[in-house]
A = this chain, B = another copy of it.
Amino acid sequence: MMGTKVTYAEIAAKAKVSEATVSRVLNGDERVKADRAARVQKAVSDLGYTKNRIAAALASGRSGLIAIVIDDDLTLFSDPFWARVSTGVSRVLMENDLQTLLMVSPVTSIDSPVSHYLQAGEVDGAIFFQVHNEELVKKLRAQKMSVVVAGTPATGTKITYADTDNFGGAVLATRHLIEKGCKHLVTITGDIDASAGRQRLDGFKKAIAEANLTIAKNNVHFGDFTFESGRAAVAQLIKNKVKFDGIFAANDLMALGAIAELREREISVPEHVKIVGFDDSVMAQASVPPLTTIQQDIEGLGAAVAELMIAKLKGETPTPRILSTILIERETA
């Protein structure tokens, strides 16, 4: 079975072909004659051979390694979201005989160890979960390394990316509130510097306009995706005497913060105020009352990113992928 390392030499001897032929068969070269290919295949399985990818990498210049680069500054990875994206990435990559290298690094500045590592060319591609540093991405692309981003990069750049349809999801959420009879809608935005934050706000505005409603000055409250900011938003809204009967919170955590504050003031959800979140995190169904929210296909996003990477590795220039969302109706709206 296993035991001592089996190499091409043994296979070649057993199959009575050259090592070059063994290599061809193992790499799916069609030109090898069927009978010889069969002999090689048999020898391979008889000997329980598994290829030494490191040797292959050195000889071919392709490592088969794809890095997932995560900037730990934002303790991003603590967010279950990214973990699930990674799961999707890893699964698809493995299916395609590629390995996932996990790089969690405090800073992805152009001079950080991670950057140097990436620039050293030991990985075939890099997947970024944020684009703090467009410079780095550009530099890597200039070095013909394949780069794919999960999320929407700044407009104008030609970076390949996949993202959830944040805009569409926000439209869905807002329309739902309107359908449920809300007349005075407000939104609590996420971090507006992040594309997801911006897009969700845009979607909200779109749905409002579509329904011929208007957005009063104080109806957009800028939050930052935290529970506290959701809570503060409601407090502020009330302090400002804003009249509202529906809230679209750009994520579940802020929605929960909003609910907590409403509850404290004995404003009942969904009777007095309806609310829709975004993410469909575990918390959404564990909340009281269970939260109506927008669900995204998180592992699917990871898979999409991996597929884009694979396409780029083949020399193709794939177009961005936008994954649609669905509304999960629970009890808050």
Contacts and interface: CB of A to CB of B under 8 A. Distances in A.
A227 B286 contact: yes
A178 interface: no
Interface stretch (A22-30, A87-95, A187-195, A234-242): A87-95
A101 B103 contact: no
Given A78-B84, A227-B286, A253-B282, 17 more contacts: A52-B122, A54-B57, A54-B122, A58-B58, A70-B87, A72-B87, A72-B91, A79-B80, A80-B80, A82-B83, A90-B102, A90-B104, A91-B104, A94-B103, A94-B113, A100-B103, A253-B286
Nearest to A84: B78
Contacts of A317: none
A90 B69 CA distance: 11
A50 B116 contact: yes
A53 B57 CA distance: 11
B58 A55 contact: yes
A84 B77 contact: yes
Total copies of the chain: 2
A68 B260 contact: no
A284 to B, nearest CB: 10
Nearest to A101: B99
A311 interface: no
Interface in A261-297: 263, 282-283, 285-286, 288
A107 to B, nearest CB: 12
A108 interface: no
Nearest to A55: B58
A145 to B, nearest CB: 12
Interface of A: 2, 5, 50-55, 57-58, 63, 68, 70, 72, 75, 77-80, 82-84, 86-87, 90-91, 94, 99-105, 113-114, 116-117, 119-122, 143, 227, 253, 256-257, 259-260, 263, 282-283, 285-286, 288
A285 B227 CA distance: 8
* A-B CB proximity, top 3 nearest: A83-B83, A50-B120, A80-B80
Nearest to A95: B113
Query: Which of A80, A103, A113, A120 neighbours the largest number of chain B CB atoms within 10 Å of its CB?
Result: A80
A319 to B, nearest CB: 27
Given A54-B57, A105-B94, A260-B288, A87 B77 contact: yes
Contacts of A114: 94
Contacts of A55: 58
B83 A77 contact: yes
Nearest to A105: B94
Contacts of A70: 87
